[in-house]
Amino acid sequence: MKRRTLLTAAAGVVVAGCSTETPSAGPGEDETENRSASDEQGDTESDSGDDQPSDDAVLEAFETGLEDRGFEGVSVDETDDGVQLGYDATGTSDDDVATEIELITDGYTSAIELGLSSTSLDAIASDPDGDLLDYFTIETEWIEAYLADSLEWRELLTRIAQTFESEAPAEDADDPADDEEAESDGEDGDEDEDDEIDDGDDEDDEQSSG
């Protein structure tokens, strides 16, 4: 199975699945408005501590989310400062690659929103035999730029698509053994022709001597 190198996978795609929280309403008229700054700070620290999931929990949710979207053979591992994702390729076309990039980017964006500590994600697709097929990279700084509204979703996907590299299957490459066999056949053919010429010369010699 071979997938062509993809330079732009982002044309026409739209943001999918990235949600934003609705700010909570302010205090009602009958509530006390003169809350001290210390009370508000204490509430903020308490909420952030309770709501922050661990990296392991975030990565598990990321893996489960990809499986729910049809990915198979998914494995998510932490590296020194990033994440490595492995999965089975979903198809052979550029459209399949574009869909994979978008869904993985969406999931990784959600993971960063949840507080995942990671500098990048390396995604590696394999063929049905388990051999490396292609790979791409998502830099976390691009995700953060998107979340900060300084980078459009389409541009984010385009940057990621430009890191895409494809490995040609071994069977598509020229087999050196075939070349050697062809050369050998050519040499044998030359030798046969030389033998025929020699045989003709011998017949001429016999007629001359007779």
pLDDT at 109: 97
pLDDT at 196: 55
Tokens (6 digits) for 83: 């994440």
**Contact by Cβ (8 Å): 120, 108:** no
- CB-CB neighbours of 197 under 10 Å: 9
DSSP state of 152: -
**Contact by Cβ (8 Å): 124, 84:** yes
pLDDT at 207: 52
Choose the most confident range, by mean pLDDT, from 15-29, 160-174, 195-209.
160-174
pLDDT at 25: 34
Identify the residue whose tokens are 């385009």.
158
Question: Residue 89: which region, alpha, beta or left (left: phi > 0; alpha: psi -120 to 50)?
Answer: beta
Q: For residue 152, name the pLDDT band (cuts at 50, 70, 90).
A: very high
Map out the domains of the chain as residue ranges. Answer: 55-165
Q: Which CATH number fits domain 55-165: 3.30.2000, 3.30.530, 3.30.70, 3.30.390?
A: 3.30.70
Tokens (6 digits) for 67: 């499986």
Average pLDDT, the chain: 74
Encode pLDDT of 108-130 as tens digits: 999 999 999 999 999 999 998 99
For the cut 50, the answer to whether the pLDDT of residue 149 exceeds it is yes
pLDDT at 167: 84
Encode pLDDT of 1-35 as tens digits: 555 444 443 333 333 333 333 333 333 444 434 43
pLDDT at 138: 98
Parallel, antiparallel or unpaired: strands 132-139 and 120-126:
antiparallel
